[in-house]
Each structure stands twice: as C-alpha cells, then as structure tokens.
Amino acid sequence: MYEPDPGANEREAVSPEAGSEEQQAERALRPRTLDDFVGQERVREQLSLVLHSAQRRGSAPDHVLMSGPPGLGKTTLAMIIAGELNAPLRITSGPAIERSGDLAAVLSTLQEGEVLFLDEIHRMARPAEEMLYVAMEDFRVDVMVGKGPGATAIPLDIAPFTLVGATTRAGLLPAPLRDRFGFTAQMDFYDPEELERILHRSAGLLDAPMAAEAGAEIARRSRGTPRIANRLLRRVRDYAEVRGDGNLTLDTARAALDLYEVDASGLDRLDRAILDSLMTKFRGGPVGLSTLAVAVGEESETVEAVAEPFLVRSGFVARTPRGRVATPLAWNHMGLTPPPDAAFGAGAAADTGTGAPVTP
C-alpha cells in the first residue's frame, strides 16, 4: 500500500540549461497547489477528484496524461500533483529516453508512490514505449539478457508509481499507450481575465507594483498562454526598473512591449514577417509552407509549429488545400489594401475540403 512521505522533496532530472536565471524565474512563479492554480477549472476539478480519491484509498493515483499547446501549465500541474500527494517527483522527457535500457534505469530506481513526469512523451523511442506499457499496467519491466536466440527476458518488479505524461501532439501517441492512462486532461488556452489574475499574482511575487490597466494590456498581448504572459511581465518589469520608477503602468507596459516588438494583438516579429511576406510578395496567397518559410528566412518547422498555430487560431491566416492565405483581418491589421484578385475573394478553397470559397 502506498503511504505518502510528508518529508519528500522534488528531485528533478533536467538538462543543464534548467539552471539558467530565466528558467529559475519561471519556476519561482509557478503555483504549488491546485487552489493557487488559475484557469483550467474543469481540469482542476477532475484532477482533484483523482488525487483525493487515491489518497483516501491509500494507493497511487491512476496515470495522468496532459495534452495541449506549450506554456499552458502541464509541467506546473505535474509538480502540483506530486505536492498534493506529498510524494517525490522525478522529471525526464521523451527525447532523453533513446533506448529501453534508459527507461528501465529510471523505473527501477523509483520509490513507492513517486510521481514520474515524462514530458514530450510522444517523442519517446518505440522500444522504450513498449516497455512502458507493462510498467504502467503491471509495475514490472522485462530486462533482456543476452542476444540472439539465447536472449532471455527477466521480469523485474518496480515500485508502484504514478506516471504523468505531457504532450503537445496527442495524435502521435499510439492507442495502446493512451489507453493506459486513467485520466486525460486537455489543456485549453486562457481567457484574458485569467491571465490578468496570473499576472497580478506573479507581479506580487516579483515585488513589481503593477496597475490594473498594465495587467490587462500584457494579458491582451499574451496569446492566451501563461508562460508568455509571465515572460512579457518580466520584460516590462525590466523596462520599468531601467527606464522608469519601477512601477508597471499602462504607458510603461505599452512602451516595453513595443520595444520587444509585441504588438497590440500579440503578434511578434516572426508573425508580422510571415503576414508581410504573404501579402506583399505573394499577393495574399495561396502559397506553400516551404516557399513561405524561405521568404521569411526560417525553417518550415519553425513557421508551422511556432507561428502558424496562433495566426490560424486568431484568424489572420487560413490554411487551404492550395496553401496559406491571408484573411481580411490580416490585411486590415497590417494596414494594407488587398488587390482585387486577393485569394480570399477569388475562389480559394477553404480548409474544410468542401471546395467552398473563402469569403471576407
């Protein structure tokens, strides 16, 4: 039976970069309990039931899978889960698990009831993935001894643990792995009001007096993402300390965010470069991803994974079977006039696959 260890401390297996000042600042702003965690109301309620029911039974909770875009609090929730259980926390990531032996080394050293946080779980090597199936279900790993026809699998019992997996691409997880999680949490983008609450809490922890209007301005430019909101808050604080009196006012926030090239809609330099190229070089599209990436001097993966999700979600870009198309909102935002034959008015097929034209 699992008994929580009230004296347990976090043990993080992280990369050397995790010790940087910026990442230390991020960790300092993270809430430590479910009550302090802002937003994701339904996920918090569901997770609270999973944890409290397991505590009443005196057993380790079911494995938890959290999916959603980066920066929404998946790592923070993993830390909160360990804190709520008074259990140790081990942190690793999918890319770090290159072989099944790497996973076996981690699992065999887990304490009873320990929480294992596996970030980017969709990037784990397939042999390790298959070993994880058995570990999650039967708390056992099969270690292969020898090679060829004489190889033997030796079962090794491991301590009951709770796996918390995080992924930004849940569709890449094989069904057998997804099915072994007892609870799946889908993380959503945050409302501006929720981001304001996060920002005021963070400003208090940073000892940076912030006006309500400044918090609203930063929240509006944060793309619905707490990580971005806290990062912008730190840049506004830097600006206020160097070029102001240390107080985060509306004028200070606007001046700082303009300096860091984050506009009123949350678009940064790369976003605007994509829109500008799409409209000035390709007449609004449609244009292929690789061609657009070359035009802005970035890798296709960067454009597709970093900039495009926000541009599409915000209605600035439409993805069609023929390529990317600038929407009327994008033309208006950039202060440009679309040509008479702009794609959104010239029968470009929408991304629905129905062949219907994109209309303004």
Active site residues: 74-75, 119, 168, 227
- Please tell me the chain's helix, strand, coil percentages from 3-state DSSP, rounded to the nearest 5: 50, 15, 40
Q: How far is CA 52 from CA 44, 47, 58, 230, in A?
A: 12, 9, 10, 30
Look at residue 307 and give its three-state secondary structure. Answer: helix
| Best CA proximity match to 94, nearest among 122, 71, 115 | 122
Please name the residues in contact with 140: beta carbons below 8 A apart, sequence gap of 6 or more: 134, 155, 156, 157, 158
Burial 155-180 (b: 16+ CB within 10 A, else e): eeebeebbbbbbbbebeebeeebeeb
Please name the residues in contact with 78: beta carbons below 8 A apart, sequence gap of 6 or more: 66, 89, 91, 115, 117, 164, 166
The two three-digit tokens of residue 285, written as one number:
């599209």
| Whole-number Å distance between alpha carbons of 52 and 48 | 6
Residue 145: strand pairing partners: 152
Please name the residues in contact with 56: beta carbons below 8 A apart, sequence gap of 6 or more: none
Strand extents, DSSP E, the chain: 10-12, 64-67, 89-93, 115-119, 140-145, 152-157, 162-167, 183-186, 317-320, 323-326
Residue at token pair 């915000």: 314
Strand extents, DSSP E, 68-172: 89-93, 115-119, 140-145, 152-157, 162-167
